[in-house]
Amino acid sequence: MPEEDRLNKFIERIIKPEIIIRVHDYLADNEVLVSRKMYECINKHKAINEHKAINDLAWQFYRMHGYVAPEAYDFSESIHPQEQLMWQMAECAYEFDWKDYEETSE
């Protein structure tokens, strides 16, 4: 049995999904084992940063339309249609990928 197969079988035996999970590391282009708690912490931190970045964009769009909002204002929780629109525009702007646009426009 090849060494890699033996290693994979050993890893499968020791992995407990509630404690250790496999995650694809896109920078190294391989799979790594991390604790579930660390993975959840990283994702939570990433989600908080993304939310803040989108909210900052919404705040800028709101300002560009001539409106004023407190700096700590959370546009994602607003019920006002104009503020909801700013949040939606910010989400689109945040997720926009120029590579996709360039490929489809050629």
Q: What is the pTM of this model?
A: 0.59
Q: Same domain for 46 and 82?
A: yes
Q: Same domain for 100 and 58?
A: yes
- Span 49-92, pLDDT tens digits: 889 999 999 999 999 999 999 878 999 999 999 999 999 999 98
Q: Same domain for 52 and 74?
A: yes
* Residues contacting residue 65 through CB under 8 Å, at least 6 positions apart: 82, 86
The model's confidence at residue 13, banded by pLDDT at 50, 70 and 90, is: low
Number of structural domains found in the chain: 2
Q: Same domain for 31 and 51?
A: no
Q: Same domain for 54 and 11?
A: no
Q: Same domain for 27 and 46?
A: no
Q: Same domain for 31 and 53?
A: no
Q: Same domain for 59 and 89?
A: yes
H helix runs in the chain, sequence order: 3-14, 36-64, 81-95, 98-105
DSSP class of residue 77 equals G
C-alpha–C-alpha distance, residues 35 and 41, integer Å:
10
- Which residue in 41, 40, 33, 38 sits closest to 16, CA to CA? 33
Q: 45 lies in which domain range?
A: 38-105
